[in-house]
Amino acid sequence: MISTSIPVLCYHNVSDVNGHTPAMFREHLDAIRDAGWRTISARDLLAVARGERKAPGKSLVLTFDDGHLSNWLTVVPELIKRDMTGTFFALTDFTVAGEVRTPQTAPEMLHMKQVFRAAFVDGDFSQFINESEIMAMLDQGMEVFAHGCRHQAAFLDLTPRGPLGVKGTHWGGWSIYPGHNPAWQTYKAGSAYVYDGFWPKFEGLAGPRFTKRSEAERLEFCRRDFKRSMERIRALNGLDEQLFCWPWGQFEPRAEAELKDAGFAGAFTLERGANTRGTDPFRFNRLGVAAKKDGKWVQTRLNMYGTAPLARVFFKKFRKKPEINTVLYATDSDKLSGGSRQMVNNIKAMGDMGMKVYALLDPESAIHSALEGIDVEVIPFTGFRKYVKAGKFLKRLVADKSIDVVHTFHNRAYKMGVLARLMGARNKLFINRGVISRPNSVFFLWTALSNGVIANSAQCAEVMRKYWVGNKRLNVVYNAYAGPDFGEPRQRKKRGTRFIYIGNSAEVKGFDVYLRAADLLCQGGARDLEFVAVGVPDEKLDRFEGVLTPAVAERFRNAGEISHAEVLDELQFADVQVIPSRKESLPNTLLEGFDLGVPAVCTRVGGIPEVVRDGVNGFLCAGEDAECLAARMRELAEDPLRRFDMGLAGRRVVRVLLTPEVKGRNLMRAYMGERLFEPLAVEAAATPRAPEQGEA
């Protein structure tokens, strides 16, 4: 004999505004009755699962989530007309005192998105069933159980879906943000019982900074919510045994354990399968009924899920999507280079987002000093050169520390990461590349075994694409300024202009082009000029005798190789930064100067044009074009007001687009599988923001 399964159908609101229309709902009920099916209660289903009663043939459970007012006004009367029963799951925080309402006294029905907005933002629960209506439903043979306290959402990723409230965005954002602001961005939403999620913090910032909630914090939320929900619903329905319905149908073992500890006897999911004797009462299967499905569809699904063998064939399981909680950064570099500084910035950004962060470094690396005061666990490692042993070490480390993402910087580290993956390490692997030069001939093969490559400019990514790195693996995540804030730039009263070059003596950096431009500027009769160089050793100046002319030399000062803090000091007292590179990806000093309000005159090479807009926050010239550089330098020397305005524009670009918070958010998007290749909205960021109402 074929064993019986009891289908459970899931509905929400029934109104002409959205959800199922009353006419369609009536069609469903009539189709159920005409096919010879009858309704039973959720408690009857619980008894069947426990083996306390036999599963009745052609029986189903009708469930209704969220406790919308239409459940009382429309659903209950239609069920009573057909001698049917229903099981309703109410949001207990939204269940308030009130009189039993009729179609004549009830408020106008709203779209469910606006229903939740009213509840979360305005504290208006009038669109939900109230206490008196629940009592009336119970009196008429219906069941009412808990759907949790407030259908709390969590942001599952950081891929923008649109500002709060616009068409196509999820109402869950209103449960996450402290109110409503049309400028606040929304992201994919899911159950806060199940996902740790990303949560906004404001902390005096212009916009929210997102941090990851810990698993312990999530479980404590579950504990409080389930307890409050249990106490509230028990006071309303008076039952010793309580059932629960998971919002979104999402669940996971630790949250389920908290639900059991709170005293619930069972729970409904949105998995599909058989409901019969021996079914786990905390895993009751349900079939969601879409608003456009007709009566024939309902009859077909009842037949599919009315016998255990067929129900097991047409199964659907929920699997929680993995979250990223732990990131390891690895480099074999012993220098605190520009790339290493960006790795340090990444570490800080991830730590500030609530991630557990590790750094795999050589014990003698200069990077250690830059990590002081940052929440990171440093793992010393000296075996980068022995690739196979390094791969085995990393594989063990990933398992021991439950590392979700390994992000590598520099040559040996990424090879170690790839080999660990080939040996079975179960982590995502990202390779960082921030240089514009041609990669080695087999680099594309290494990247093919990674989850992605992080480039610091679109031009850097284009170079890798040219040398066969796959499009699907390329991501652009721009550098961030993470240094000290020296305050809002102030206009200077001095007459002279100080130009600064920060680089080294390598040909690609264009120090000779800087000196040629300076000479042209001097030849043109410009006065009160000073030219500073940082990063060029004194002993290398002999190589530039031909372009370091007497006119320039008398205005020239070489700061030499100095510490990063001293570099920022030099920038702080400069008026214009000159970047005359022949080849460049995206120099950190450009962002550092912008944050200090120092405009830039640059060559149009590499990733520089992605951050500098000609005439907005700096000027751009062709590579090698000392004449253009000199002309633009003259413009800024002769127009202090324009120089100041362009410097402010550069600072706005950094403060809006190139912050550690933005970089951390974009890294997380890449880590979670999104391909990032978005141009920077420099012009929009550079434009002064109009004060909002109420601001001075």
The yes-or-no verdict on residue 694 having pLDDT over 90 is no
Amino acid present at 296: K
When pLDDT is averaged across residues 466-485 and rounded to a whole number, the result is 94
| Among 188, 430, 424, CA closest to 321 | 188
End-to-end CA distance of the chain: 79
| pLDDT for the residue numbered 688 | 87
Class of domain 497-658: alpha beta
* Model-wide pTM > 0.85: yes
DSSP-derived secondary structure for 199-220: EEE-TT-SS-EEEEPPHHHHHH
**For the segment 311-331, what is each residue's pLDDT rounded down to a tens digit?**
999 999 999 999 999 999 999
For helices 626-638 and 640-657, angle between their N-to-C axes, nearest 10 degrees:
110
Q: Which residues contact 196 (CB under 8 A, 6 or more apart)?
A: 154, 212, 213, 214, 215, 217, 218, 323, 325
**Cα–Cα dist 324/340, whole Å:** 23
| CATH 3.40.50.2000 domain residues, the chain | 326-476, 497-658
Residue 7, number of CB atoms within 10 A of its CB: 26
Q: Comparing C-alpha atoms, which of 9, 3, 2 is closest to residue 278?
A: 3
Query: Kind and range of the H or E element at 647?
Result: helix 640-657
**Contact criterion met (CB below 8 Å) for 323 and 53:** no
CA atoms within 13 A on the CB side of 546: 3
C-alpha pair distances (Å), 321 with each of 151, 258, 420, 421: 19, 20, 23, 21
Count other Cβ atoms within 10 Å, centred on residue 483: 18
Question: Tell me: the pLDDT tens digits for 156-171?
Answer: 999 999 999 999 999 9
Between CA 686 and CA 696, with CA 692 as vertex, the angle to 5 degrees is 100
CATH fold of 8-313: TIM Barrel (3.20.20)
Q: How confident is the model over 335-345, as a mean pLDDT?
A: 92
Note the pLDDT tens digit of each residue in 564-621. Answer: 999 999 999 999 999 999 999 899 999 999 999 999 999 999 999 999 999 999 999 9
Exposed/middle/buried for residue 204 (C-beta within 10 Å: 0-12, 13-18, 19+): exposed
Confidence of residue 695 (pLDDT cuts 50, 70, 90): very low
- pLDDT grade for 225, boundaries at 50, 70 and 90: very high
In terms of Cα–Cα distance, which of 186, 656, 565, 514 is closest to 370? 565
Residue 616, helix vs strand vs coil: coil
Residue pLDDT, tens place only, 103-139: 999 999 999 999 999 999 999 999 999 999 999 999 9
Could you tell me which CATH number the domain at 326-476 has? 3.40.50.2000
Question: Residue 450 to residues 310, 397, 413, 419: CA-CA distances in angstroms?
Answer: 41, 18, 13, 10
Strands (E), 156-212: 162-163, 185-186, 189-191, 198-201, 209-212
Cβ-defined contacts of 97-105 (< 8 Å, 24+): 97/130, 97/131, 97/132, 98/130, 98/131, 98/132, 98/133, 99/130, 99/132, 100/132, 100/133, 100/136, 101/69, 101/72, 101/73, 101/130, 101/133, 102/73, 103/73
Summarize pLDDT for 353-389 with one digit per residue, the tens: 999 999 999 999 999 999 999 999 999 999 999 999 9
Confidence grade of residue 194 (pLDDT, cut at 50, 70, 90): very high
Q: Which tokens belong to 540? A: 């290398």
Contact 502, 535 (CB under 8 A): yes
**Which residue in 408, 397, 451 sits closest to 433, CA to CA?**
408
**Which residue did the predictor score with more confidence, 693 or 243?**
243
Q: State the pLDDT confidence band at 52, using cuts at 50, 70 and 90.
A: very high
pLDDT at 692 over 50: no
Q: What is the mean pLDDT of the chain?
A: 95
Q: Where do you find CATH 3.20.20.370 in the chain?
A: 8-313
The confidence score (pLDDT) of residue 1 equals 62
Each residue's pLDDT tens digit, 523-558: 988 789 999 999 999 999 999 999 999 999 999 999
Question: Is the pLDDT confidence value at 17 over 90?
Answer: yes
Average pLDDT over residues 44-70: 97
Query: Is there a contact between 626 and 582 (Cβ–Cβ < 8 Å)?
Result: no
Question: Per-residue pLDDT tens for 275-296?
Answer: 999 999 999 999 999 999 999 9
pLDDT on residue 690? 59
β-strand pairing of 452-455 with 428-433? parallel
What is the model's pLDDT at position 262? 98
- CA–centroid distance for 566 within its chain: 35
Alpha helices per DSSP H over 383-526: 387-401, 411-422, 443-448, 458-466, 511-523
